[in-house]
A and B are shown apart, each in its own frame.
Chain A
Amino acid sequence: LAKTTQPISMDSYEGQEVNITCSHNNIATNDYITWYQQFPSQGPRFIIQGYKTKVTNEVASLFIPADRKSSTLSLPRVSLSDTAVYYCLVGEVNNDMRFGAGTRLTVKP
């Protein structure tokens, strides 16, 4: 299983773009990169998933370089409601995916 490393915490201000980087040096050929968001007292919620290059949806963008040894979740113009824990998971989709400790993002006014 590919091990992931993310910053433990990050602070930002409303309206800023936030980039959270995840390292996964031993990612395997069949592995995808998936990000989840978790608010207090709730279960995690899917944000975005990708294999290579760039993926964008209505919530975020995911940048994956050619070597796939890292990935960056980009949240445009964050608001206070984006304060949450963000998890980077690497593995075969919905199989053998393991949550790490995540990155606690705090958005300040």
Chain B
Amino acid sequence: EAGVAQSPRYKIIEKRQSVAFWCNPISGHATLYWYQQILGQGPKLLIQFQNNGVVDDSQLPKDRFSAERLKGVDSTLKIQPAKLEDSAVYLCASSYLAGVGDTQYFGPGTRLTVL
């Protein structure tokens, strides 16, 4: 079974530039998550989708971050404009549903460096 795919793996941008990350979840997984992981910290949930609807985006900085999951499959996360403090690894995860016994499967992440 193919895992969660993410691209790019690495990205370096200047502050105030825009950047987008792509995630392809495991086939059949209805729930998709985006996390931000700053060096030395645990992952922080940014947004959770159930199919193509948003379940939780309470920790998403909506003035600069946006995410979409068209057709309930792939998802993109965008930052516009980027700030220095956005330097982090952006992790995508998916799960079949969001219930007991179900687990999240994480992709390898995209390491973003903002200069």
A-side residues, CB < 8 A to B, are: 32, 34, 41-46, 49, 85, 87, 93-102
Contact = CB atoms under 8 A, between A and B. Distances in A.
B99 to A, nearest CB: 6
Interface of B: 4, 31, 35, 40-45, 48, 55-56, 91, 93, 95, 97-109
Nearest to A44: B106
A99 B44 contact: yes
A32 B91 contact: no
B103 A49 contact: yes
Nearest to A100: B42
A39 to B, nearest CB: 11
Task: Tell me the dominant secondary structure on chain B's binding face.
Answer: loop
Contacts of B43: 44, 99
Given A87-B42, A101-B42, A95 B103 contact: no
B70 to A, nearest CB: 22
Contacts of A100: 42
Task: Tell me the dominant secondary structure on chain A's binding face.
Answer: loop
Contacts, number: 58
30 contacts: A34-B103, A41-B108, A41-B109, A42-B106, A42-B109, A43-B4, A43-B106, A43-B107, A43-B109, A44-B43, A44-B93, A44-B104, A85-B42, A93-B99, A93-B100, A93-B101, A94-B31, A94-B97, A94-B98, A94-B99, A94-B103, A94-B104, A97-B45, A98-B44, A99-B35, A99-B42, A99-B44, A101-B40, A101-B41, A102-B42
Given A34-B103, A93-B100, A98-B45, 10 more contacts: A41-B108, A42-B106, A43-B93, A44-B93, A49-B101, A93-B98, A93-B99, A94-B98, A94-B99, A101-B42
A41 B108 CA distance: 7
A42 B42 CA distance: 12
B110 to A, nearest CB: 11
A34 B4 CA distance: 20
B42 A95 contact: no
